[in-house]
Every structure is written in structure tokens, then in C-alpha cells.
Structure 1
């Protein structure tokens, strides 16, 4: 196992998910006294796993048709565009 990649991906996803809408929604579900907290944890974890699997599959498929360097540029431009849009709307 390549621990450097594992730690990089783990840290990136962990930091990106802290305080986002998904975590806030999960917190609100868990705040309900009548809801099983383990069920909320299992459902939220399962959803993140499925979303991550879709990302891995999409990245694998795209890398077969598009150069990896170009994909990095596209992703970077996409993140910058989202940031600029967010700043514009604020």
C-alpha cells in the first residue's frame, strides 16, 4: 500500500468535508432525540463511500480518454471558477 497517497487523499477529503453542508445536515439528523445515532452514522458513511466511489470511477474513465495533466488543469480551473462564483455571490 502506498501510504503517502493514502494519507494525502485522507487528509484532503477530511479537511474538505469539515464544516460543509453534508456534515451540518448529518449533525442536524443526529440532533433528533428519536433518531438512532448509529443509523445516522451508517447512512452518512455509506453516502460518502458511494459518492467517493463515483468520483474514483469517473476519474478512472476520464483518465483513459484525457491526458492526466489536462485533467489537473481542468480541475484547477473548476475550483477557481467555483471560488470566484462564491466570492461574487457573497
Structure 2
């Protein structure tokens, strides 16, 4: 097992998910009076695992057609573009 890749993925996904709409939706579900927080935790975790699974499968399929270097560069450009748009919106407020 490549420990460096494992921890890079853990940290990247953790930081990407922190404070996004999914986390706020999970907080809203957990805030209900008659809600079992463990069920919310398990449900949210399963949803994230399923979404990540789709990402892994899509990445494997794309890697058979595209050079992984180009896929990594495209992902980096997409993250930069999203960050730039987020900053632009924040500065316009």
C-alpha cells in the first residue's frame, strides 16, 4: 500500500468537504430533535463513500483513454478555477 497516496487522498477529501454544502446539510439533518445522530453519521458516510466510489470508477475508466498526467493537470486547473471564482464572488459582496 502506498501510504503517501492514502494520506494525500484523506487530507485532500477532508479539506475539500470541510464547510461545503454537504456538511451543512448533514448538520441540518443532525439538528433535528428526534434524530439519532449516529444514523445521520452513517447515512452521510455511506453517501460520501458511494460518491467517492463513482469518482474512482470514473477515474479508472478515463485513465484508459487519457494520460493520467493530463487528468491531474485538468483537476488542478479546475480547482484553481473554482478557487478564483469563489474569491471573485467573495470580493464582489
Q: Same fold (TM over 0.5)?
A: yes
What is aligned with 1:18? 18
Query: How well do the aligned residues superpose, as a CA RMSD in angstroms?
Result: 1.3
Superposed CA deviations along residues 17-63 of structure 1, whole A, max 9, x for unmatched, are 12221111111111111111121111100100000001101110111
- Following the alignment from structure 2 to structure 1, what is the Cα–Cα distance between the partners of residues 82 and 18? 18
Structure 2 portions without partners, runs of 5+: none
* In the alignment, structure 1 residue 41 sits paired with structure 2 residue 32: no
| Segment of structure 1 superposing worse, 64-73 or 74-83 | 74-83
What is the match of residue 68 of structure 1?
68
Aligned length: 90
TM-score of the superposed pair, with normalisation by structure 2: 0.87
Paired with 1:19 and 1:50, the residues of 2 have a C-alpha distance of: 20
The 10-residue stretch of structure 1 (61-70 or 4-13) with the greater mean CA deviation from structure 2:
4-13
Moved more, 10-19 or 62-71: 10-19
- Calculate the TM-score normalised by the size of structure 1: 0.89
| Farther-moved stretch of structure 1 (24-33 vs 76-85) | 76-85
